[in-house]
Amino acid sequence: MTVVTTGDWTRARPQPNWLARLFDYKPFLVLACLTPALGLLLVFLTYPLGLGIWLSFTDTKIGGAGKYIGIENFEYLLEDPQFWGAVFYSVFYTGVATFGKFALGLWLALLLNNHVPFKSLLRAIILLPWIVPTVLSALAFWWLYDPQFSIFSYVAVDVLGIRSTPFDFLSTTWPARWSLIAANIWRGIPFVAISLLAGLQTISPSLYEAALLDGSSAWQRFRYITFPLLLPILAIVMTFSIIFTFTDFQLVYAITRGGPLNSTHLMATLAFQRGISGGELGEGAAIAVAMIPFLVGATLFSYFALARRKWQQGESDD
């Protein structure tokens, strides 16, 4: 008797159709959910990454299949002063720009961490350089660096009278290099400042109060409270910043295109010049592949910084 009633009760439930049941079957659902993302990433990221490494060992040109030539591309690059110039400038550009971005960005974050009026408006304005497409702000910098009509030259020569000739921003090697670094720092400050500001706001004010009671100086509070507690987030932001500065392309391509005399080529712009404009896909791929060791180094740095953070906060690895 009781058996029959339970049977009736089960039958009374609305039965989902086979499609709904299929989508409720967990292994299938997991697979279905991961397919779009993983499919896109495998086809347009993992496969090209492997293909790029393969291409760097071939003499492929645009419009023709290449054949395997071993490490000939790399041997050629090792003796190519232009390649070494690009490696040098990439490292120099990344080093100086990262230092500048973090010094100024940290300063800006500390300033914004004070109680200032219109804080959210300020924050919104400060992020603008980061929102605007790089190429478009790079064009503005190009115009600001114009040999004849640069506003900086106008101010220095005609208003302040501290120079007799206009600045020469982009036509010689070192000024061009520094001008590009300045533009990169300008664009990078907002990201660093806003990320670090978020880190600063997680630091409990009671720590500062305790330190104040102990009679600490402002520098001691920064050195022994702010900096150590900011270090984990600083490490992550720095890793991202290093990776994206090292592989920067837009700024240099828009302002100098690697000139004057190829002195401002980054590895990415050189790879583009050789690989796409010059048609030597194999050689361009070899230059791109040569960037990978640097990126792996930065990633390992990030991994260990993250591990350290979890250890500090006593979190379990999840």
Partner 1 sequence: MTDTAAVPEGKATATVAPDQMAWDSRTRRLVTIYLPLALFVFVLLFPFYWMTITSFKPNAELYDYKKYNPFWIGSPTLDHIEKLLFGTAYPRWLMVTMGVAICSTALSLFSSVLAAYAIQRLRFKGSQYVGLGIYLAYLVPPSILFIPLATTIYQLGLFDSPLALILTYPTFLVPFSTWLLIGYFKSIPYELEECALIDGATRLQILRRITLPLAVPGLISAGIFSFTLSWNEFVYALAFIQSSEKKTVSVAILTELVSGDVYQWGALMAGSLLGSLPVAIFYSFFVDYYVSSLTGAVKE
174, two tokens? 């070192």
The label of the residue with tokens 């490494």 reads 53
**Cα-to-chain-centroid distance, residue 157:** 37
Tally of CB atoms within 10 A around 269: 24
Stretch 223-282 residues interacting with partner 1 (CB under 8 A)? 233, 236-237, 240, 243-244, 247-250, 253-254, 267-268, 271-272, 275-276, 281
- The residues that bridge with 61 in the sheet, in sequence order, are 64
The span from the CA of 232 to the CA of 101, in Å, is: 17
Q: Is 74 in the site for partner 1 (CB under 8 A)?
A: no
By beta-carbon proximity to partner 1, the closer residue of 261 and 276 is 276
C-beta of 1 vs 205, nearer to partner 1: 205
Min CB(314)–partner 1 separation in Å: 17
Query: Taking CB under 8 A as the criterion, which residues in 23-52 touch partner 1?
Result: 23-24, 26-27, 29-30, 32-34, 36-38, 40-41, 43-49, 51-52
User: Of 72, 95, 96, 123, which one interacts with partner 1 (CB under 8 A)?
Assistant: 123
CA 92 to chain centre: 16
Q: Is 114 in the site for partner 1 (CB under 8 A)?
A: yes
Work out the end-to-end distance of the chain between its first and last CA atoms, rounded to an integer number of angstroms.
Answer: 51
DSSP 57: T
Least Å distance, CB 57 to partner 1, is 12
Shortest spacing between CB 3 and partner 1, in angstroms: 22
Distance (Å, whole) CA 111 – CA 133: 26
20 binds partner 1 (CB under 8 A): yes
Residues 204-223 that bind partner 1 (CB under 8 A): 205, 209, 212
The CA radius of gyration of the chain, in Å to the nearest whole number, is: 27
Applying CB under 8 A, does 103 fall inside the site for partner 1?
no
